Chains A and B, each alone.
Chain A
Amino acid sequence: MDKLADADIIVQVIAGNKMLFAHLVDRYKTMAFTLAFRILGNREDAEETVQDAFVKAYEHLAEFRRQSKFSTWLYRIVYNTSITRGRKKKPAMMEVDRRTLLHEDTSQADSLLYGFTEEEAGDFIRKILALLPDEDRTIITLHYLNESGIDEIHEITGLSKANIKVKLFRARKKLQEYVDQISDSVALYSINVQ
């Protein structure tokens, strides 16, 4: 059943076999959760948003026109639901002070650059991503984790293609600056330690 294409599952779900929808949930819940988490910044809100998004997707499955991939359509719902929730609720995104990050987390930066555990590196990168504006973070997440092109990001977020290109360029540049600054801090840290 795992080999069944999304389109076939959708046809069967619309025909009344609603339990098959679980396969679509299993396939896309991780990326959907990642996307919601990157926008909302906390697990509870992200999980509720993902639940709401999947229920909305189910209720409106008959309106899915198959002009795009099911995942693209679903992530658009996740994105819009997250944005709506984020506006209703004060964003609980972990605010990371850049200076704090640069001065206090040099050990993590060290681990990132010198190949310590993936978990440590992952935590550190999440903190860096948290420094970006919501839309930039979403675009970066879709581009690098979902491997979405400009067209797909445009379909998901509704932002213009030109705007996406600009935001992607700026976000990359900003991230690169953070990474470079951290590299410098680590270099200084290493010198001071020696």
Chain B
Amino acid sequence: MKSTADSADKLGKIIRSAGFEFPDKGLTERIMNRIEVATIKRPLVFKPVIGFRGWLLIAVSGILLLVLSYFLLGNSGNDTGTGITDSTVLFQRLHQIEPGFIQSIQVPKILLLSLTGLLFWIALDFLMATRKWKKHSFGQAK
């Protein structure tokens, strides 16, 4: 009685005895003739138009703008502000800061819309940059 290992080894030898199939001569030349006119396709790599530093700068500017708009333009949608030269107002507002003041902030609508749009583009850029694109499947059958 043959052992399973012997049997598997014998089977392996038998299969290997069939060996490789050899292509006709000149296959390399025929392939290289086609390669001659082919070009290497460069993979599409997503590169964000605005880099990390750019977005950081935009984010900081946005926050600054938001804060300054409260102090300089006032906390009312209809308030057009008192002007940047009116430093006393700025200091008065700074002294008015107390817990719960955020609820009292009323940002001008145009600024709110701008910030919302900006955040949308930041999120989109982040998602596109981090998404793992599926590899090319080369006519994958599955």
Contact = CB atoms under 8 A, between A and B. Distances in A.
Interface of A: 13-14, 18-19, 21-22, 25-26, 29-31, 33-34, 37-38, 43, 46-47, 50-51, 54-56, 58-63, 76-77, 80-81, 83-84, 87, 112, 118, 121-122, 125-126, 129, 140, 144-145, 158, 172, 175-176, 179
Given A19-B32, A55-B35, A63-B43, A126 B11 contact: no
Looking at chain B, what size class is its interface with the partner chain? 35 or more
A186 to B, nearest CB: 14
Given A18-B35, A22-B28, A158 B140 contact: yes
Contact of A122 (B18, B27, B137, B140): B18
A50 B27 contact: yes
Contacts of A62: 40-43
B126 to A, nearest CB: 24
Contacts, number: 126
Interface of B: 7-8, 11-12, 14-24, 27-28, 30-32, 34-36, 38-43, 135-142
Contact of B31 (A54, A60, A179): A54
Given A51-B34, A175-B11, A122 B17 contact: yes
B11 A179 contact: yes
B39 to A, nearest CB: 7
B34 A59 contact: no
Contacts of A144: 12, 15-16
